[in-house]
Each structure stands twice: as C-alpha cells, then as structure tokens.
Structure 1
Amino acid sequence: MATGGVTRWTGREIALLREALRMDGEEFAAKVGISHRQLKNWEGRGATISPRPSNQAALDTLHSTAPLAAQWRFAQMLTEHAAVGHDERTEELLRRDPRTVRHPVDGKVMALVEEGIYLSGAGNSSVWLNEFRIDVYPTTNLDYEGFVRATGHKPPQHWPTGGRCPSGLRDHPVVWVTWHDANAYAHWAGKALPTARQWEKAARGPKGRAYPWGEEPTAAKCNTAESGIGSTTPVARYQSGVSPYGVQDLCGNVWEWCSTPGTDGPDRYQLKGSAFSSPFERAAPALENAANSSMKDNDTGFRCISPT
C-alpha cells in the first residue's frame, strides 16, 4: 500500500491530493461533497485552514480509495513539500529567535525590524523608521502558487500549463512578476511591498553596514554574476549573507520590487538587491535602481513587509 496519508488535512494537503488525483476543482469538490468555492477557499488559505471533522473523513476516504499510482504521487508530493515548507533552518529560526513569527495567511517567516534610526543611502544619512516585520526570505514559487490558486491570478510565464509552479523551483524566488503582480500578492496576504528605506534598513542594520554581513565586499556570500550559476538559487542557500535582523538572500539572486516610486520618470518603482544576472558591484543595499511597473524578467522578484 502507498504511504503518504495525513493525520490532519489542511488546505495545503488538499491541494496536493487534488493534483495527485489529476482532477479539476469542480470534480474534486464534488467527490468531497463541498462547493467549488469552498475548495478554492481551502486551497487559498493553505496551512491556516483545517476543515471540519466530516470533511476530514471524506478526504481520508478519497485518499484511501484512490488508485495506487495517485497515492504514490501524493506521497511523493508530500515529501517534496515538506522539504521546502519545513526547512530545518527555518524551524530552528522560529524556535530560537523571538523576533520571528510565521504569517497567518501565506505562512512565511517574518523577522522584526525595531523602530529607530538607521544610516541610509550612500551618504549614511540618519533616518528614523517605525517598527515593521519583513519576510526572512523572498517570495518563492511555492508561496506564489498559493496566491495564484486562491485568486485566479495569472501565473508567471515560466510555469507549465495548469498554473502549478515547477517542482524543481519551489524554493527558488518567483520571477517574471511585474510590480503590479507583486503588489497584488502583498494585498492578498494582508501585507505590503517594503519601501526602499525599509528594505535598506532590513539589509544594513541600524549602523549602516555596507552589506548585510558586514563591510567586506564578499561576492561568495550571494548569487551574483560572479558565481557563474546563471540562474536563481534556493532562497536559503546563502546562510552566511544574513543581515543583522536575520533576513536572508537580500543581495543577489533576484532584484526585489519596492513600493517607493522611482525618481527617473513616471510609473517606475525602485528595485533593491541585485540579481544572479548582475555584477556584485550592483548588490550594495544603499544603491538605487528602478524599472517600469510593467517590467518583468527572469531576475526580478519581491518580498513583503507588515506592521507589527
């Protein structure tokens, strides 16, 4: 008999079971005895929703009576998802760092950036910012899939037909997203895109480090063009590049959209952090960059903030 059963169903496991059974939403909902709208709500809320006992029993039955091949697919997807969603380092961070919490909508771990002055920009001007929380890691393809499933938002162009993120890229930052896409995700999650100053403070700390890890321009601590990788990497790969607030992957990998308008023309927004496609010299958090809000590329993503 195939393994892969669950002791408690949440929207996250339900979405995986539907995929394993290769059913569309309406067919799956009918099998469970619920409306298609209810199913979309479950899948959209992910691990934050747990159906009532009668629905849990229906899901148990649907799983146990599924064809053996579907049960094996489900077991494999559960294993893959656990590897991405429950990274041991992330769980350790939640246990040991009282500044971190898991967001109730998208499930992302967020770090606290305390209120106060920080040294901002190339001139290290003293700037006061109120307290906020910021995602420890950029928004991944798996994170973005939850948003797409909940809202029907158009998936990125590099995803295969069907609106599911590529299994090999689940823990990579989502790319091919415009500023409007990033802002829509933030709104759905009850968050916001960071201002350029919030992003910079999360990266540099209150004392204005040149880089998240310190003053040394160490290209090996992030995924920029010098790495020779030529593509995105898992968001937890460069642990030594962590900022004073415990925020990861701020330099390199992908440019990150901010909510601050650009200063070089209308309908443009600032980007921070550089990317795998750019030289390390562009990665310093104090530097400015901007792009049109409709721009999307294979090296541009985002992360979110929320008030405390």
Structure 2
Amino acid sequence: MNTNASYKPPDTGHRNTLAERTLPCRPGHPPRGLGDLARRHRSALWAGKGLPTAQQWEKAARGPGGRIYPWGNEPTAAKCNVAETGIDATTPVFRYQSGVSPFGTFDMCGNVWEWCSTEEERGNDRYHLEGSAFTSPFERAAPSLLNTAAASMKDNDTGFRCTVLA
C-alpha cells in the first residue's frame, strides 16, 4: 500500500512540489488531496508505478475466491475506516489488521476512495473509484460496488493506490 512516505523523494537539493503537497498529510496515511485523476496518475508514474484497472483492484480486494469483503463474507464495519467508526478522518494504512485481503492488501474498504484507470464508458471521462472512504456508510464498502467520478473531481476523501508496471 502506498502511504504519504511513498512520495517523499531522496534529498537532491531540488524542489519537489509533489512531496511538498504530500508531506503536510499525516505519515502512514494514504495519499489524498493531490488533485484530479490526471495528477494522481502522474504521481504514480513519478513513483515508477501506475494506477490499477478496476479489475486488478477488485481482484486484490476480494481474492481468488471472490469474497464479498477482503476479510470474508460477513459484513463487519469494525474491520475498516468508514463513517460508522465515527473517526471522520483517515487512519494509518495498517490499522485494520483484521480487514486485510487474501493478497495481504490493507484498506481495500474504507479510509479513502481510490482512483482506478478504468473508464466507466469509453469517452465519457468518468473513471472507477473503489473501496469507499472514511466519509462513506459501510453499505458502500463492498469492493464489487460500482462508483465512478469525473476525472476532474477533487475531493478530500479520494486517493489512489499504485501497482507495479509490468
């Protein structure tokens, strides 16, 4: 899982505006507030990675057996950071140990919505958002639920997850 620390480059003596935008966020928390989809995609590429497709994201969340939630098929809001927790902010990525997916990925439900590279319909400039957020009710947390947003959308409960480029 990428955290804000993933975007702190080595000190080269040069100004890095991505790091400056990310560092005010809390360490160990998911990156958010970096702008629209294009900016987040550039951020992933800067880190030598990419944004996952919606299919890749869902597979990482649900595992090979297609669980309803990363932890299994029982709805348990206490395994993720959603509105019902009452925290009303992001939490450290590794906080919900019992909510991890079969592939070892954290925060696949709750914390921040995550941009994917999959367009809803070709040419409509709306992309998949996965995972729900700390502002979302638990009923929106199932990884198979469809949510999309305009590529220009900027929100404080939306972030991204990187994948390794093949």
TM-score, structure 2 normalization: 0.89
Asked if the contact 2:80/2:99 (under 8 Å) is kept, the reply is: yes
SS state at 2:84 partner: helix
- Contact kept? 2:53, 2:117, Cα under 8 Å: yes
Secondary structure at the aligned position of 2:105 is classed as coil
Aligned-partner Cα distance in 2 for 1:280–1:302:
19
Residues 119-138 of structure 1: matches in 2 within 5 Å?
A: 137=1
* Deviation beyond 4 Å, 4+ runs, structure 1: none
Structure 2 residue 33 is matched with structure 1 residue 176:
yes
Q: Could you tell me how far apart the structure 2 residues matched to 1:295 and 1:164 are? A: 18
Counterpart in the other structure of 1:140: 3
Question: Cα deviations across residues 165-217 of structure 1 (Å, max 9, x unaligned)?
Answer: 13x70111111132112100121122110000000000101111000000000
1:204 to 57, 62, 65: 62
Name the residue aligned to 1:242.
100
Q: Distance in 1 between matches of 2:15 and 2:3?
A: 17
* Structure number having the greater helix percentage: 1
Using CA pairs below 8 Å that are at least 6 residues apart, which structure has the higher relative contact order? 2
3-state DSSP of counterpart to 2:91: coil
Letter of the 2:147 counterpart: N
Assess, with a 3 A threshold, how the Cα gap between structure 1 residues 294 and 144 changes in structure 2: closer, same or farther.
farther
State percent identity of aligned pairs.
60
Amino acid at match of 2:119: P
User: Any unmatched runs of 5+ in structure 2?
Assistant: none
Distance across 1 between alignment mates of 2:146 and 2:165: 24
What residue ranges of structure 1 are gaps of 5+ in the alignment?
Answer: 1-136, 156-161
Q: TM-score, normalised by structure 1?
A: 0.49
Q: Give the SS at the match of 2:50.
A: coil
The 3 A distance-change label for structure 1 pair 281 and 265 is: farther
Asked if 1:263 is matched to 2:121, the reply is: yes
Looking at CA atoms only, which structure, 1 or 2, has the larger radius of gyration? 1
RMSD, aligned CA: 2.3
**Is 1:288 aligned to residue 149 of structure 2?**
no
1:29-65 per-residue CA deviation (whole Å, 9 max, x = no partner) reads xxxxxxxxxxxxxxxxxxxxxxxxxxxxxxxxxxxxx
Preserved contact between residue 145 and residue 163 of structure 1 (Cα < 8 Å)? no
